[in-house]
Amino acid sequence: MLKRFTVVATAVLAVATTLPSGAAHADPTPAAPPAPACDATGTPPAYHGRVPTPRSVLGFDLGEREVTSAESDTLLGAIDRASDRVVSGTLATSSEGRPLKYAVVGTPHNIRNLRAIETSIKLLRNPLTPAGAARVLARNTPAILWVAGNVHGGEESGTDAALKTLHDLAGRDDCAARRILDNAVVVILPTQNPDGREADTRRNAYSFDMNRDWFARTQPETDGKIELMRKYPPQLFIDAHEMGGTEYFFPPNADPFYHDIAEPTIDWINNTYGAAMIGEFTRRGIPFFNRDVYDMFYMGYGDTVPTTGFNAAGMTFEKGNASPIAARTFEQWLTQWVSLSAAAAKKTEILTTWHGMYAEAFKQGLEGRLEPNQVYNPGNEVITQVPDRKVRHYFLRADDPAKKAETDLVVRRLQRMDVQVFRLARPLTVGDFKPYGRAEARTTLPRGTYWIPMAQGQKHWIQAMLNEDTYTPFPYFYDVTAWSLPLLGNVSGGSSGRALLPLATPVRAVDAPSARVTTSRAIGVLQLSGGTAQNAAESSGWLRHRLDRDWKLPYRVLTPADVAAGGLAGLDVLLVPDGPANAASTTLGETGRAALRDWVGAGGRYVGWSGGTQLAVLAGISGVTLAEPTSDVPGSLLRTTVAQGPLSRGVGPDVMQFYAYDLIMRAANPAHVLTSYPAAGSPEWFLSGFALGAEELAGTAASVAEPVGAGHAVLFAAEPNFRAFTDGTAKIVANAITADLPSASARSSRAPAPDASKAAAAVPDRESPIRVTVAASGRDRVASVLKGFGAVWTEQAATGGAVRFTVANPGGLDAHEHAWAGKLPGALRAAGVSPLAVVLPN
């Protein structure tokens, strides 16, 4: 370690004497008198005239109308060609073949010396760089600040504003622009979702919400963006969105916050950038709000991943889309310019602190210290604390050949966020090894096991990706509450708090593992609904992505009307993802339902989940009984026990199932259960994420495999392919397509019992509803709040005598698209309600 430290220190001092932005020693010239203060937004812009105006390129000014993706690319290219302050490139190509263009803007000197700046930034990220050398680097290196827009395709104004910011930085010579240019290199990504922008849809061509995809990087748009961030690691990342209404949201954020985030980043977000924007918007009289709705918890957002993975101030900005495009563009530009200016004014302090966060993370990792849970908004209280257990190491088992692809994918995802991974060169006995979801035990890990020490600069990211639980600190949920990579991938591993120094070798960069699936069976995908049905669009989109990109299997998409018209002919397997089952059953009619029954009975294989499972019961294919849950599980991972057979090939004895208010399923015949939730309180019971009353799942079926005549129905109660990153349960779906199952020709097709069909029909079609669960004593206050919004809701009994309010959400609007969902947390707080759980649509 000492030798490595000396080498790093020598390299730092060598670089510090050749930095692009100035000398590494103090200038002996007497200091000049301080320059007059430069107002970031009040300074009249002075354009030098060498950069073309947007009107001269596009025929209109930015803010007159929304630009198209092609127009954005055209303007970006024109500015690049005309300015020596700009270089541009393409970071990825979208699913439909559109380029994701970006620009890097700075002084001509810094643009010419980007590679040297990259080297300096890498040294600042290195926790072993001495503090003194880091201070020299911080003085002489520009900050790297990012502006990105339009991750949701229908939220356009962030793009238009980013283009204005690019034009101003390339074309202005006044002190406000110069201050940013002299202190920063700014990376501008006008649109993160060109396919969605062209279609005017929130999601991309595969119906992925790419502001949920950041840690998994399943989409090329996300993957290319993060690779560019690794090249130009940010200290500030602006993610510009739109929402309903006319107000503007910027941080401070709402609780909950993920526990292992470096504290200075939150200080920057709240007290540097948030405070600057509050002051600017207050001065101008522009309506805004903060501390509600938008949390810093789930590691799939454009604020949490830059913050946790890069120690940046990651910030979500949201402008009300009811305002005209001129107002939207201006206010988005204003928040971008104010934030860039605030960062430039404190550049040296920010870079010095940035390095200090990596050094502190390294120290925490050496000590095995996890950050505790906190709440940041007045009146909130922590509901779950991080256990007082040291974690110095994570280990991933690599001794199961059947899980090599899943293990390689976890390692690759870690490496591609600059995490150092090693392999044990000989067996290691660990006295306190804690396997995921099990008790500590003395364990000997075999040679070849992957070792991920926490003592590295990316300690926060390691904890975020390899955690056993997220330890939810506060019961408001804007998205899921569990995402641990090993649990998602069904990869065995665990942690240790001991001071260990095993004999191990660094792992070279792992290539993307192949997930290709081979079968001669003809496959159909039944999409239960189109249009604005979010559940159906997302679930079928995630499935199509699996089939196209990972498994590389051909398929044919059908609608319920196609089935009724004979569309099942020639198919061997029908995949039926989530969607509104009752509506689909009505569209099928008795003709379509009979066609499904006859096709399965004649040897077809029906593989369905969520709404697809409900439809199987409604069509008379399956005998399972279904019911709505009384528990509150907003998006967690639960261990299930796996019955061994053809459908469990390569899965193992258990697998984690993603679960979010899904159906409770009971098999008509216990012999048909494929995966099931173990007894609550048993050693096998394990849940990662938030849950109240999940014990109701104990002993129920997570999936079944039923013989139906000469065919089969393989059914999952919940989504097995959530966002295409639940690789453990997705393998069961692959097996359901390819496996040879025992012939059931001797069995007769049997319609479900009337009570099963009746129970399935009683489960309503819902699109991302709003849910509020409170103790019975808070019922009247919640009802009063909902009445004030004009809401219509249903009530049901929840765990422990609580009451759950469920508010329908036609069209599956996101919380920030919804007319009032974003205001609900504040209204509940004002009414004195202490909820057990609040789930907003996402």
* DSSP helix/strand/coil, 270: helix
**Identity of residue 282:** T
Helix, strand or coil, per DSSP, at residue 660: coil
Query: In terms of DSSP bridges, do strands 393-396 and 450-453 run parallel, antiparallel, or are they unpaired?
Result: antiparallel
The pTM (predicted TM-score) of the whole model is: 0.95
Q: Which residues, including other chains, have CB under 8 Å from residue 51's CB and lie 6 or more apart?
A: 79, 82, 83, 167, 170, 171
Q: State whether the Cα torsion 637-643-647-652 is positive or negative.
A: positive
Q: What residues does 90 pair with on adjacent strands?
A: 101
Q: How far apart are the first and last CA of the chain?
A: 46
- CB 44: neighbour CB atoms within 10 A? 8
What are the chain's domains? 81-363 (3.40.630.10), 393-506 (no CATH), 523-626+660-676+700-762 (3.40.50), 770-839 (3.30.70.120)
Q: Please give the distance of CA 269 from its chain centroid, rounded to a whole number.
A: 20
And the tokens for 811?
């069209």
The CA–CA distances, whole Å, from 549 to 219, 523, 801 equal 10, 16, 46
- For residue 582, what are the β-bridge partners? none
In terms of DSSP H, where are the helices of 602-682? 611-618
Report cis status (omega within 30 of 0) of the bond before 720. no
- Gap between the Cα atoms of 736 and 650, Å rounded: 12
Task: Determine the Cα–Cα distance for residues 391 and 495; give it in Å rounded to an integer.
Answer: 6
Give CA–CA dist 472/392, Å, rounded: 21
- pLDDT for 4 equals 40
Whose CA is closest to 782, among 769, 771, 767? Answer: 771
Judging by DSSP bridges, how do beta strands 99-105 and 184-189 pair with one another? antiparallel
CA 578 – CA 612 distance, rounded (Å): 5
Which residues have a Cβ under 8 Å from the Cβ of 440 and sit 6 or more positions away?
A: 432, 433, 434
B/e letters for 505-521, b = 16+ CB within 10 Å, e = fewer, are: eebeebeeeebebeeee
Contact indicator for 776, 608 with CB cutoff of 8 Å: no
Walk across the sheet containing 393-396 and list its strands: 441-445, 428-435, 493-496, 393-396, 450-453, 422-424, 504-506
**What pLDDT does 767 receive?**
85
| Residue (of 510, 469, 507, 504) closest to 486 by Cα position | 469
Reading the block at residue 662, the tokens are 């899904």
Question: Which ranges constitute the DSSP H helices of 368-468?
Answer: 404-415, 459-466
- In this structure, the number of other CB atoms found within 10 A of the CB of residue 174 comes to 15
Residues with Cβ within 8 Å of 517's Cβ and at least 6 positions away in sequence, in order, are 550, 551, 552, 553, 734, 737, 738
Which amino acid does the sequence have at 649? R
* Separation of alpha carbons 278 and 288, rounded Å: 8
Q: Which amino acid, 429? A: T
Q: Quickly count helices (H) and strands (E) in the chain.
A: 26, 32
Averaged over successive runs of 10 residues, the pLDDT of the chain (842 residues) comes to 37 41 37 69 97 98 98 98 98 98 98 98 98 98 98 98 98 98 98 98 96 98 98 98 95 97 98 98 97 93 98 98 98 98 98 98 98 95 97 98 97 98 98 98 98 98 98 95 98 98 98 96 94 84 98 98 98 98 96 97 98 97 96 97 98 98 96 98 97 98 97 98 98 98 61 79 90 96 96 93 93 81 90 94 84
| Distance (Å, whole) CA 399 – CA 789 | 56
Task: Give the per-residue pLDDT at 324.
Answer: 98
∠ CA 705-595-709, rounded to 5°: 40
Give 117's contacts (C-beta < 8 A, 6+ positions apart): 20, 110, 141, 142, 144, 185
529 contact partners, CB below 8 Å, separation of at least 6: 536, 537, 579, 580, 583, 584
d(CA 358, CA 126): 7
Residues, the chain, total? 842
* DSSP-assigned beta bridge partners for residue 184: 143
What are the helix (H) ranges across 61-193?
A: 69-82, 108-112, 114-125, 131-140, 157-171, 175-183
Helix (H) or strand (E) run with residue 326 in it = helix 325-345
Write down the pLDDT at residue 752.
Answer: 64
Q: Residue 216 corresponds to which tokens in the numbers above?
A: 């998994």
In this prediction, residue 822 carries a pLDDT of 85
Q: Which amino acid is at 263?
A: E
Signed CA dihedral, 104, 107, 112, 118: sign only: negative
> Hey, is 220 helix, strand or coil?
helix
Phi and psi at 92, nearest 5°, equal -170, 170
